[in-house]
């Protein structure tokens, strides 16, 4: 049991170290994937388009760096900026979303990349605290299981 807990503890420790060391690569990878999702965005309900819509609605953002990122997409030439960028769904018409100057007043202007990364970084202390607490319980479990194993082997010859 102690060996199993030690293995799990080491796996979690290695994952945390790798995540910390490669955090900049993770950000770069997220930004490039978000750019790809915008480029391939379409109205059909594929999971990348749904993810972009969900991020834009939840975080009140639009595009990667700002709302003008949509102007370089094929979707913009057909339908304009997506409705998930609208501040108010009732006040957003399709013709407003096709004109970048009108859309600036109707959609969220901040980009999603900065908001996602800043949200993740602000929650990182909570995640680190919870992880540290779990690691402490794992270490206590490892120590107690080693003590129990030692106690059982020491008293093995006294049993009748």
CATH number at residue 59: 1.10.1450.10
Rounded to the nearest integer, the mean pLDDT of the chain is: 85
Q: Exposed (0-12), middle (13-18) or buried (19+): which is 27, by Cβ within 10 Å?
A: middle
* Rounded Cα gap, residues 45 and 66, in angstroms: 23
* Rounded Cα gap, residues 16 and 123, in angstroms: 15
Per-residue pLDDT reduced to its tens digit, 31-68: 999 888 888 888 566 788 888 889 999 999 999 999 88
User: What residue numbers bound the domain in which 22 lies?
Assistant: 1-158
* Predicted structure pTM score: 0.67
Report residue 140 as tokens. Answer: 């206590």
Domain count, the chain: 1
């Amino acid at each position: 049991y102690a060996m199993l807990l030690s293995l799990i503890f080491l796996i979690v420790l290695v994952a945390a170290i790798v995540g910390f060391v490669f955090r900049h690569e993770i950000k770069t990878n997220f930004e490039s994937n978000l750019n790809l999702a915008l480029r391939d965005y379409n109205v059909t309900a594929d999971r990348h388009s749904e993810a972009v819509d969900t991020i834009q609605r939840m975080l009140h953002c639009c595009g990667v760096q700002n709302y003008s990122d949509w102007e370089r997409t094929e979707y913009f030439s057909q339908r304009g900026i997506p409705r998930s960028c609208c501040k108010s769904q009732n006040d957003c018409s399709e013709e407003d979303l096709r004109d970048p100057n009108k859309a600036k007043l109707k959609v969220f202007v901040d980009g999603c990349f900065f908001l996602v990364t800043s949200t993740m970084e602000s929650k990182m202390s909570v995640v680190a605290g919870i992880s540290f607490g779990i690691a402490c319980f794992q270490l206590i479990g490892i120590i107690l299981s080693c003590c129990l194993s030692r106690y059982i082997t020491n008293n093995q010859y006294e049993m009748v």
